[in-house]
A and B are shown apart, each in its own frame.
Chain A
Amino acid sequence: MAVINKANKANYAKSRQSFLCLLIWLVFSLSLQAAVLEEDRADVLYHSYDGGGMKIDGPAILLRKKASESVALSAYYYVDTISSASVDVLSTASAYSEERQEGQLGIEYLHDKTTMALSIRQSDEDDYLANSVNFNVSHDTFGDLTNLSLGLAFSDNEIRRNGDDLFEEQSQQYRIRAGISQILTKNLSIALNIESVADEGYLNNPYRTVRYIDSSVPAGVGYQSEVYPNTRNSFSTKLSASYYLPYRAALFLHYRHFSDSWKIDANDIELSYRHPFGKTVELELKVRYYQQTQASFYSDLFSHQNAQNFLARDKELSDFDDLTLGLGVTYLIPKQFSISDWRSEVSLQWDYITFNYNNFRDPTAEAALGEEPLYGFSAHVIRAFFSVYF
Chain B
Amino acid sequence: MLTNYFTRALFIAFSTSLLALTGCAQPIEPWVKPYERQNLADPIMRTNRHPIANMHIAHVYEARESARGAEGTGGGGCGCN
- Write the A228-258 contact mask toward B (1 if CB under 8 angstroms, else 0): 0001011111101010100011101000101
| Contact residues of A between 16 and 31, Cβ < 8 Å to B | 20-29
Instruction: Please tell me which one of the listed residues B57, B64, B69, B76 contacts residue A195 in the complex, with CB atoms under 8 A apart.
Output: B69
Task: Give Cα distance in the complex from A25 to B67, angstroms.
Answer: 33
A114 is an interface residue with CB less than 8 A from chain B: no
Q: Does A208 contact B (CB under 8 A)?
A: yes
Beta-carbon contact of B67 and A266 below 8 Å: yes
* Closest B residue to A173 using CB positions: B77
* Chain A, Cβ-Cβ closest to B64: A316
Query: Bound state CA distance, A150 and B42, in angstroms?
Result: 26
Residue of A nearest to B1 (CB): A231
- For A196, the chain B residues whose CB sits under 8 A away are 5-6, 8-9, 69
Q: A45-B53, A186-B37 are in contact. Are A198 and B42 (CB under 8 A)?
A: no
Interface size class for chain B?
A: 35 or more
Shortest distance from the beta carbon of B27 to any chain A beta carbon, whole Å? 6
How far is A128 from B76 in the complex, measured between Cα atoms in Å?
13
With A60-B56, A198-B2 already in contact, the answer to whether A27 and B67 are too (CB < 8 A) is no
Cβ–Cβ contact B39 & A234, under 8 A: no
**Chain B residues in 8 Å Cβ range of A388:** none
A102 within 8 A of B: yes
Q: Is the CB of A195 within 8 A of B77?
A: no
Residue A385 CB within 8 A of the other chain: yes
Note all chain B residues with C-beta closer than 8 A to A134. Answer: 74, 76
Evaluate contact between B19 and A24: CB separation under 8 angstroms: yes
A362 interface residue per 8 A CB criterion: no
User: B74's contact among A119, A183, A381, by CB below 8 Å, is which?
Assistant: A119
Contacts of B1 in A (CB 8 A): 198, 200, 231, 233
Q: Which residue of B lies closest to A28 (CB)?
A: B20
Chain B binding site: helix, strand, loop or mixed by DSSP?
A: loop
| CB pair B53 A177 closer than 8 Å | no
Q: Which residue of B lies closest to A127 (CB)?
A: B79
Q: Given contacts A24-B19, A130-B78, A186-B32, are A43 and B68 in contact (CB under 8 A)?
A: no
| Complex interface: chain B residues within 8 A of A252 (CB) | 47
Known: A143-B30, A349-B53. A240 touches B47 (CB 8 A): yes
B24: chain A residues within 8 A (beta carbon):
20-21, 24-25
Which residues does chain B contribute within 8 Å of A183, judged by CB atoms?
32, 37, 40
- Contacting pair B69 A234 (CB below 8 A): yes
A223 at the interface (CB under 8 A from B): no
Say whether B70 contacts A237, CB under 8 Å: yes
Which residues 55-84 in A have Cβ within 8 Å of B in the complex? 60, 62, 76, 78, 80
Contact A249 B17 (CB under 8 A): no
Q: Which residue of B lies closest to A233 (CB)?
A: B5
Verify B67–A123 contact, CB threshold 8 A: no
Q: A20-B24, A256-B70, A292-B66 are in contact. Are A174 and B39 (CB under 8 A)?
A: no
Q: How far is the CA of A128 from the CA of B63 in the complex (A)?
A: 14
Query: Could you give 19 example pairs across A and B, Cβ below 8 Å?
Result: A20-B22, A28-B20, A29-B27, A29-B30, A43-B52, A123-B78, A143-B29, A145-B30, A173-B77, A176-B10, A185-B32, A197-B5, A205-B81, A233-B3, A236-B67, A240-B47, A244-B40, A295-B66, A383-B56
